[in-house]
Structure 1
Amino acid sequence: MRKTFMKWLLNAFLIFFTIHNGLAAETSHQKTIELTENIEQLTIGKYLEYFLDPTLSYTVGRIHSNETNDHFVPLNKDVPNFGPSRSEYWFRFKIKNLTSSSTWILEFDHPGVIYSDLYQLKDQNTKDFKKISPGNLNPNGPKSTHRNQIYYLDLPPGEEQIFYLNTRTYGGLPVPIRIFTQERFLQYSYHEQIAFGMYFGVMFVMALYNLFVFFSLKDVAFLYYVMYTTSVVLLQIGILGYGKMFIWEKNGWIDLNFFPVFNISIIISLSLFTKKFLNTKEIIPVLDKIFNILICLQPLNFLLILLLPYDKEITLNLCLTVPFAVLVFIAPLIAMRRGYTPARYFSISFASILIAATCNALMYANILPSNFFTENGLYIGSTIEVILLSFALVDKINILKREKETAQEQTVEMQTLLADSYKAMNASLEKTVEQRTRDLNETLKQIRADLSMAKKLQQKTLPKLNLEGKSLSILTHYLPMSEIGGDFYDIHELEQGYFRIFLVDATGHGVQAALSTMTIKAEYEGIKNIRTKPAHLMETLNNECFTKYKSMNLLFSAIIADIDLNNKSLSFASAGHPPQIFKNSSNTDVLNAAGSIIGLKKNANYQSVDLEIETGDRIFLFSDGIYEEFDEDKIEFGADRVFSLLSLDSDMGHVVDKLLLEIEKHVGPSGQQDDITLLSIEVL
């Protein structure tokens, strides 16, 4: 009961406020809009009556009833202006068409409304209304074709029509409503688009120009100015409705809060620009601290956007804008009095925009009336500001230029003083460079000779095969990446018809890897003639290398393969080596055995894998360099291509040559990036 009474009391108060609002000009009967042949455009604010619905519950039928008829308040202004409110507004007007044209256009020049629907009374007896919506301006609808609410009116000649406009906004609500003929509206829209195009064109060009100046001079003041100009443009885009049309059409939160968000951005960027441009830290320390406080308070201001109702937040922002504008206006005046020349242009340029912005803010707060200057002041003021501020930037550039010229003169004097000593030092340096170049060439020559000798020695360590009369064919290919490499292999006949093959790939490349292979060869020579399983031999080699060379971090992958032609068998073990390839008459498969690389840990276990072999079988043993080769696009040659090529049913020599040729084509001019060793074995 108490809540019902309070709700009734609130409605009574609001209705009383509406009736006695200062916008009410009279209590006489509503005037009818008469459209004659000489009218092409008409602002109809003074023909409107309005009703305020704080409950958001009224329908057009209820609005047209006798219940509210006496509560409509007439207006006497061409462009009425209401302050921020969360209520719903109903506007009523009558139109009598005294022309021969039945099609007219109604424009509600307020892009920021939440919704706006027009109702036309079609039948006085049945109270039948026709709803005329702006159609494509709803937040979730297709993209708008016009920034404002546009309604096409069907006005039969000689008849009087009654209309109700229902709208709501969280911000201030100026009501510039106009009626146009179709031809006049096209002209009006065309000229409006040209004017806004010129405005945004000037703002864009100046922002882009200052951005280039920033990249050229590396002066952060120009970057702050670009941020400020961009914030102003985004604010204007939002106010004019282009933001909802083209940028944030699907984001209702930004469409609702763009004014406080970009206003905060303007305060931050303009504070930073003023501090940097006027050097307030040195010239006006007190104002510099105030600007710092303002900047630090803006995150709190942004948080209030999320917490406060929109009408409260926009009122807060508008109240902050005026003292901030005064502060920015005072700063260059003080700087000018203290001898900072560029501040004069700064003062004049910001005076224009701040006066215009203040008037615009006061208009939205319903303090100043809506007219051409208060509506378009931001565009006029910001355009003047951009032009005048360019003079300030040029003046600052000239100051920097003069400072640079002075520095250059001092540099020239210093260069003159140092010229003689530089020439003497240069001559001495040239002699030193020549001597060092000769020394380096001698050293390089000696290194090349050493590498050539190392290459010959490494080649000598590789086994020389004599398989004449043997039932085994082995083709060997050893292709180091540089003069010497980190791959090594050994092939020897343990006893008649029993061959042992050892293949090593040491970590690293070049000299270091080559020296590692010499150490590995020495250790292997001591155990290679032991008649035991490859896995046991690998375990012995691992323990020897781990014990003796742990401090040297000697690590390598290896494979041991025993081929017994007498028993037609193959036994092999792998120590971290990639899978090898075995091909028989029916298929091609990979040879794989588990085991970690040599030298990684002591007492590692290795696995021997045994296979039966027969005449015509092929075994391909290789290092990982055969498939870890990359072309210019960093594409790997790949194990799959190696497997495919080695699976070909052709002469083994032809198969191997084709594989190596494909690798050479793949790496191209860059050359191979790893050592390549390939042992191709065929049972005869």
Structure 2
Amino acid sequence: MKIQKLLFIYLMLIVSFGLYANDTSVDLKFLQDKPIYLAKYMSVFEDPTQKLEFQDIKSNESNLPFLQIPKTKEAFNFSYSNSNFWLKTKIFNPLDREIQTSLVVAYPRIKTLDLYLESKDGVKIIQSGYLVPSVNRPYQSRFFVFPIEFSKNSEVTIYFKVNSPNAINLPIQIWNQKSYDRHEIDDHVLQAIYFGITLAMIVFNLFVYLIHKDISYLLYVLVVLSSAIAIATHNGIASEYLWDNSPWLDQYSVNIIISIVLIIFLIFMRTLLQTKKVLPQLDVWNWGFILVQCLLPIFYILSFETFIKWLVLSHTITSLWILVIGILCSMKRQRIAYFFLLAFAFLFLALIISTLRALGIIPTNVFTIEGPQYGSAAEMMLLAFALADRYNFIIQEKEAAENLVKLNLEKSNLELEEKVKERTFKLNQTLTVMRRDLFVAKKIQENSISVDPKLEEALHFVYKYLPVSEVGGDFFDIIQLKDFNYRIFIADATGHGVHAAMITMAIKGIYDPIKEFDLPPNKIMEIFNEEFMDNFVSLNSLLTAMIIDIHFDTKMIQFASAGHPSAVLLQNHTLQLLSKTGRMIGLKKQTHYEKVEISFQSGDRLFVFTDGVYEAFNQKDEEFGEDKLYQLFIDTIHLSLSEVEEDLLKALQKFQNGQDRQDDLTILGFDLK
């Protein structure tokens, strides 16, 4: 049952990816001076329970949905997740000689990174990740490196078990050992150049501060120093040289240090650009952002999972604010602001790239991982030019005083622009609230029509629910009455969108208290109609509905239909329609509904749907129609229910030929096995 539950959890993931894992091997004869990126060869299995170990994976591997992610090229990016991720691939050495390789995961903030090597000699386990002290790792490096020797004419299956509270990015490479040694030397040279320039900038500007006593130079030194520490933490240099074994620092340090960098940068910006004088109305916001960057790291330490995304998002917003201030100061013709804006633009771009990568919005590759370091180097050099130009800026500021009238006019224009921006901001806020409300409504509606997985297994049941907008007017419910008897309810409110969605909530509120009554479907329908008329007749809304009771003990179906589209019963390749037995809900009180009984034997198939399934129109305004739908059900009788639904959606898409759907679509399929 444990495996069956896991299979169900990943059913939607399998449909979304549309691709099962392939047994694609990595051929080491193609391994030259450049690495082979393994992500495109690897298949992935997500274990949200975190309970499966390697023995469980091996014993049930054929039943687990290992998937390949088609768009992955250089790296996997799973963003923030509490799941364990299992990755696997096969590596083949077809040569008549041994090959020395290095398996490299070029990202330092992975907590658990266990490697399992399965060959004809058995299984070898190598534990790594920042939870393992560097002295206990197979290879001491700023990244996670696994030296592996492949014997001649051998095949090895590798498995990775990955878990981390940080953003999970996995740029996995396999290198020829000698090539990687050369690459690592080159990498250390580049790191030495970067930190050497940083040290030179710190020492030089510290001496300038001691000579001129200008606080801007001291703040610049602090900005450069904190940025260098943040870069060292981000790229693993700090873990390799500053702290050898501190999982806490590996987990928390980079985001805390980024907050420190932003705090110092905000203070540096206020001093350098004189925002208290130049932008007095906005200067108070600088202190607000400083306060946020002081408080959020504290909450982040107290509750990592709750505040990690908020802290990362605050870094981006604060950086955007600094960029906006730089733009506004540049608009005020501050010479030094040009240098500041250009310098911070590089760092802002790098931070945006890093944030989007951490949140899983953009792919992980060498550029998105190393981007912050390149941006920091450019920002450091350009800020140095900004400080060198500081005195020229002061001269220009004095000259600008002679053009006071012109500046006052520009100030008036700027204030007008600010008012427009403020009103635009308020409008955007309102739009954001509306979008958030729609999102919440969508989640509420999705939860209201969720189906117990046990019922899907017991009924051999699949369904598809596709509202035409964020929310829709279709609703269905499936329950087990007693023993092996089940009740199916489906309804379709007129129209779609928010109005129809509200009607579905009314439907659910009326139907839930009566759905378990030990009454035939027609009596339930009559009670439902009376309750709807008593409570919601003022809404002037109508709906169709159908109730079907499946009795497995007697192999019979009982149903009642309130003007709902005919359900389709397939028996011995013959199609039978379950037509309406009464008028629509909401037309008249004391409406009588007939009850119809039909046999439901082994091998029979039942489809229940709303009119959005066949009321699809193409560009010529032609309707897909019920006849095409019925013929499709007959032609696909040999397929599984999932395959029938897939064929139906493809047929509708082909028929519409780019035309948007005009109504909500819901279809339920049942097989009696």
Question: TM-score, normalization: structure 2?
Answer: 0.55
- The corresponding residue for 1:113 is 110
1:335 aligns with 2:329: yes
Where does 1:173-212 land on structure 2 (aligned, <5 Å)? 173-212=168-207
Stretches of structure 1 that go unaligned for 5 or more consecutive residues are: 405-684
**What one-letter code is carried by the residue in structure 2 that aligns with 1:75?**
I
Contact 2:49/2:83, CA 8 A, preserved across alignment = yes
Structure-1 separation of matches of 2:129 and 2:283 = 50
Is residue 82 of structure 1 aligned with residue 78 of structure 2?
A: yes
CA distance in 2, matches of 1:87, 1:397: 55
Q: Are 1:139 and 2:133 an aligned pair?
A: yes
Q: Distance in 1 between matches of 2:275 and 2:296?
A: 24
Going from structure 1 to structure 2, the CA distance change for 1:183 and 1:25 (only over 3 Å counts) comes to farther
Listed as ranges, the matches of 1:563-578 within 5 Å are none
Q: Are the equivalent residues in 2 in contact too, given 1:121–1:162 (CA < 8 A)?
A: yes
Choose which of 314, 318, 340 in structure 2 pairs with 1:324: 318
CA distance in 2, matches of 1:280, 1:10: 59
| Matching residue of 1:387 | 381
CA distance in 1, matches of 2:134, 2:156: 31
Shift of 1:38: 5.6
Asked whether the equivalents of residues 297 and 311 of structure 2 are also in contact (C-alpha less than 8 Å), the reply is: no
Mapped partners of 1:174, 1:141: distance in 2: 23
Query: Quick one: structure 1 residues 68 and 291, their matched pair in 2 at CA, closer, same or farther if it must change by over 3 Å?
Result: farther
* Paired amino acid for 2:385: F
Q: Deviations over 1:351-383 (max 9, x none)?
A: 111112111211111111223432221121111
Task: From the superposition, tell whether residues 349 and 294 of structure 1 become closer, same or farther in structure 2 (CA, over 3 Å).
Answer: same
Q: Per the alignment, in what secondary structure is the counterpart of residue 112 of structure 1?
A: coil
Task: Answer yes or no: is 1:371 the counterpart of 2:371.
Answer: no
Identical pairs, percent = 24
Q: Distance in 1 between matches of 2:141 and 2:200?
A: 25
SS at match of 2:32: coil
DSSP 3-state at the match of 1:167: strand
Residue 75 of structure 1: how far off its partner (Å):
2.7
CA distance in 1, matches of 2:301, 2:169: 25
Change (3 A) 1:9 1:122: closer
Q: Secondary structure at the match of 1:393?
A: helix
Report the CA distance between 1:30 and its aligned residue.
2.3
The residue that corresponds to 1:449 in the other structure is none
Work out which of the residue numbers 56, 59, 82 in structure 2 matches 1:65: 59
1:306 aligns with 2:301: yes
Q: After superposition, what is the alpha-carbon deviation per residue over 1:444-483, rounded to whole angstroms, capped at 9, x for unaligned?
A: xxxxxxxxxxxxxxxxxxxxxxxxxxxxxxxxxxxxxxxx
- 1: distance between equivalents of 2:364 and 2:271? 36
CA displacement at 1:107 relative to structure 2: 0.8
Structure 2's unaligned 5+ residue stretches are 399-673
Aligned to 2:24: 31
Alpha-carbon distance in 1 for matches of 2:130, 2:104: 14
TM-aligned CA distance change 1:393 to 1:176, over 3 Å = same
Q: Residue 357 in 1 paired to residue 351 in 2?
A: yes
Q: Is the counterpart of residue 247 in structure 1 residue 236 in structure 2? A: no
Task: Give the Cα–Cα distance (whole angstroms) in 2 for the partners of residues 301 and 136 of structure 1.
Answer: 24
**Pair 1:346 & 2:336 matched:** no
Q: 2 CA distance for matches of 1:231 and 1:13?
A: 48
* Inter-partner Cα distance in structure 2 for 1:280 and 1:232: 22
State the partner residue of 2:48: 54
Q: Is the 8 A contact 1:25 1:74 kept in 2?
A: no
C-alpha distance in structure 1 between counterparts of 2:126 and 2:92, whole Å: 18
Provide the C-alpha distance between the structure 2 equivalents of 1:20 and 1:229, rounded to a whole number of angstroms: 48
1:107 is paired with a residue of what secondary structure? strand
1:503 aligns with none
TM-score, length basis structure 1? 0.54
Q: What does the per-residue CA deviation read over 1:525-584, in whole Å, with 9 as the maximum and x for residues that have no partner?
A: xxxxxxxxxxxxxxxxxxxxxxxxxxxxxxxxxxxxxxxxxxxxxxxxxxxxxxxxxxxx
Q: How does 1:414-429 map to 2 (within 5 A)?
A: none
Structure 2 Cα separation of the partners of residues 25 and 101 of structure 1? 38
Aligned-partner Cα distance in 1 for 2:12–2:195: 41
Residue equivalent to 1:155: 150
Instruction: Look up the equivalent residue of 2:219 and give its one-letter code.
Output: Y
In the TM superposition, residue 392 of structure 1 has moved relative to its aligned partner by 0.7
SS state at 1:36 partner: helix
Q: Paired residue for 1:517?
A: none
**How many Å apart are 1:8 and its aligned residue?**
9.3
Q: Which moved more, 1:141-150 or 1:343-352?
A: 141-150
Q: Name the SS for the 1:366 alignment partner.
A: coil
Is the 1:87–1:168 contact (alpha carbons within 8 Å) kept by the matching residues of 2?
Answer: yes
Query: Contact 2:89/2:159 (CA < 8 Å) preserved in 1?
Result: yes
Cα distance in 2 between the residues matched to 1:25 and 1:208: 57
1:248-271: CA deviation from partner (whole Å, max 9, x where unpaired): 324332221012211210221111
- The answer (yes or no) to whether the contact 1:52–1:88 under 8 Å persists in 2 is yes
Please say if residues 62 and 68 of structure 1, whose CA atoms lie closer than 8 Å, have aligned partners that are also in contact. no
Q: Aligned equivalents of 2:215 and 2:150: distance in 1? A: 59
- 2:118 partner amino acid: L
Distance 1:198 1:116, change over 3 A: same
Look up the equivalent residue of 1:112 and give its one-letter code: R
Q: Is the 8 Å Cα contact of residues 81 and 175 (structure 1) preserved in structure 2?
A: yes
Give the residue type in structure 2 aligned to 1:297.
V
Q: CA deviation at 1:122?
A: 3.1
Residue 62 of structure 1 aligns with an amino acid whose one-letter code is: D
The C-alpha deviation readout for 1:187-223, integer Å capped at 9, x for no partner, is: 1111111122212222222222222222222222222
Asked if 1:168 corresponds to 2:160, the answer is no
Aligned residue for 1:73, secondary structure, equals coil
Q: What is residue 226 of structure 2 aligned with on the other side?
A: 231
Change (3 A) 1:13 1:397: farther
What is the CA distance between 1:15 and its match in structure 2?
2.8
- CA distance in 1 between counterparts of 2:15 and 2:296 reads 35
Q: Distance in 1 between matches of 2:227 and 2:76?
A: 26
Cα shift readout 1:490-527 (whole Å, capped 9, x = no counterpart) = xxxxxxxxxxxxxxxxxxxxxxxxxxxxxxxxxxxxxx
Provide the secondary structure at the position in 1 that maps to 2:335.
Answer: coil
Q: What is the DSSP-based 3-state SS (H/G/I as helix, E as strand, rest coil) of the residue aligned with 2:10?
A: helix
* Pair 1:297-2:292 in alignment: yes
Superposition deviation, residue 400 in structure 1: 6.3
Task: Report if aligned partners of 2:216, 2:271 keep a CA contact under 8 Å in 1.
Answer: yes
8 Å Cα contact 1:97/1:158 also seen in 2: yes
Q: In 2, distance between residues paired with 1:152 and 1:250?
A: 21
Distance 2:335 2:129 in 1: 55
Pair 1:299–1:277, CA change in 2 (3 A): same
> In structure 2, how many angstroms separate the alpha carbons of the residues matched to 1:289 and 1:92?
53
Tell me the CA shift for residue 135 of structure 1.
9.5
Task: Find the residue that maps to 1:82 and give its secondary structure.
Answer: strand
1:178 alignment partner, SS class = strand
Distance 2:133 2:257 in 1: 20
Bigger Cα Rg:
1
1:391-428 deviation line (CA, Å, top 9, x unaligned): 11100145569999xxxxxxxxxxxxxxxxxxxxxxxx
- On the 8 A contact 2:110/2:129 being kept in 1, the answer is no
Amino acid at match of 2:116: Y
Give the 3 Å change call, closer, same or farther, for CA 136–57 of structure 1 in structure 2.
closer
User: What is the alpha-carbon distance in structure 1 between the residues aligned to residue 272 and residue 376 of structure 2?
Assistant: 18
2:83 maps to a residue whose letter is: S
Question: What is the number of equivalent residue pairs in this alignment?
Answer: 393
On the 8 A contact 1:30/1:74 being kept in 2, the answer is no
Amino acid at match of 2:345: A
C-alpha distance after superposition, 1:309-339 (max 9, x if no partner)? 34x4321122112221221112122222223
Report how far residue 140 of structure 1 moved. Answer: 7.8
Q: For 1:297 and 1:329, how far apart are their aligned partners in 2?
A: 17
Determine if contact 1:207/1:226 at 8 Å carries over to the other structure. Answer: yes
Say if 1:220 and 1:136 are closer, same or farther in 2 by CA, change over 3 A.
closer
Mapped contact 2:85–2:161 kept (Cα < 8 A)? yes
- Asked whether 1:269 is paired with 2:264, we answer yes
Alpha-carbon spacing, 1:120–1:186, altered in 2? closer, same or farther (3 Å): same
Pair 135,306 (structure 1): closer, same or farther in 2 beyond 3 Å: closer
- Contact 1:63 / 1:69 at 8 angstroms: preserved in 2? no
